[in-house]
Amino acid sequence: MKLAIDVQGLNRSFGTHRAVKDVSIRVIEGHICGFLGPNGSGKTTTLRMLCGLLTPDSGSGQVLGLDFPREAEAIKRQTGYMTQRFSLYEDLTIDENLTFVARVYGLDRIHARVDEALEKLGLQDRRHQLAGQLSGGWKQRLALAASVLHEPKLLLLDEPTAGVDPQARRDFWDEIHRLADNGMTVLVSTHYMDEAERCHEIAYIFNGELIARGTGDELIEQSHLVTFEAEGPRADKLARELHDAPGVAMVAPFGQALHVSGPDRAALEKAIVPYRRDPYRWTEVSPTLEDVFIHLMSSAASGDRKAA
């Protein structure tokens, strides 16, 4: 399948801090790729390099069929980028902000394009409202409208739904899938596991290194995790006792239930034997993406400590 992003060996340092380390990333055209990792892992730096806002120390490949990073300016013109923080003018109206963005891009049919963007994202009735008066969800819609006004082929989103309510997040993702259905490629960083599950593929970065990549099902299979779920009155209280037990790689409460995971089935079953009693019921379940990512992060952090 045709790749919208095919870049290898991305590196970027800030002084003595190496923020991105030999990252290679491939995204199929028209797909939504979730870009996951803890704060400070290099997600934003990677996105900014891909769209031409930062020059990599090294790295090569193609973005939208253009040579990366040599043709960064041409890539930038075909890319939409939505920053983590709202970056439009709060003292301008929605209409004025979009008109300004259209003029910056030198677009034709400015009024028609703005009207179309307002209609698609349900902003028509608010077009004369100041951007600074909008709630988080409406600011998000405005920022998305501005990012796709020039009809980019690639859309980069940096934690776009942080701090908005569940309904606004769902509406936002419905729009992202509509854009992808029409051929746009989307690379989106997120901390939400339910959003990761809505992506066609996932890339996980930790301490500047890409440590896992694939579909959600592939990542769960590759983890080789065995997971047991404990249910019963306040089963979550067992987390403290099981946290450091031999064979237990991860313990995660889910309400009053508890997920206990590890890569070694025999060791894990031995660890939970003392707790296989009333009032608790134990069932083997499929690991969730959250189980997998917590395990990945713990394993990578443990490896860093050993290397040090």
- 89-106: per-residue pLDDT in tens? 999 999 999 999 999 999
Q: And the tokens for 122?
A: 């349900």
In degrees and rounded to multiples of 5, residue 277 shows phi and psi of -150, 165
Position 6 confidence tier, pLDDT thresholds 50, 70, 90: very high
Three-class secondary structure assignment of 14-65: ECCEEEEEEEEEEEECCCEEEEECCCCCCHHHHHHHHCCCCCCCEEEEEECC
pLDDT reported for residue 270? 95
| Full-model pTM | 0.89
Q: What are phi and psi of 261, to 5 degrees?
A: -130, 155
- The Cα–Cα gap between 186 and 203 comes to 13
- Rounded mean pLDDT, 58-85: 95
Show me where the domains of the chain are located.
Answer: 3-219, 220-307
Tens-digit pLDDT profile for residues 193-224: 889 999 999 999 999 999 999 999 999 999 89
Contact call for residues 95 and 113 (beta carbons, < 8 A): no
What is the SS3 assignment for 117? helix
Q: What radius of gyration do the chain's Cα atoms show?
A: 22
**Residue 259 contacts residue 288 (beta carbons within 8 Å):** yes
Q: What is the pLDDT of residues 156-194, one digit of tens each?
A: 999 998 878 888 889 899 999 999 999 999 999 988 888
The CATH code for residues 220-307 is 3.30.70.250
Report the SS3 class of residue 276: coil
Torsion of Cα atoms, 45 then 50 then 53 then 57, to 10°:
70
Q: What angle do CA 288, 217, 3 make, to 5 degrees?
A: 130
| Joined tokens for residue 117 | 């963007």
**Rounded CA separation 52/55 (Å):** 7
Q: Which amino acid is at 116?
A: E
> Domain spanning 3-219: which CATH class is it, in words?
alpha beta
Q: How confident is the model at residue 5 (pLDDT cuts 50, 70, 90)?
A: very high
Reported as a single tens digit per residue, the pLDDT across 107-125 is: 999 999 999 999 988 899 9
141's enclosing H/E stretch is: helix 136-148
At how many degrees (to 10) do helices 136-148 and 94-104 cross? Answer: 20
- The reported pLDDT for the residue numbered 307 is 47
- What span, in angstroms and rounded, lies between the C-alpha atoms of 73 and 46? 17
Q: How confident is the model at residue 304 (pLDDT cuts 50, 70, 90)?
A: low
Q: Is the pLDDT of residue 301 over 80?
A: no
Q: Are 77 and 186 in contact (CB under 8 A)?
A: no
- What residues contact 88, with CB distance under 8 A and at least 6 apart? 97, 101, 131, 139, 142, 143, 146
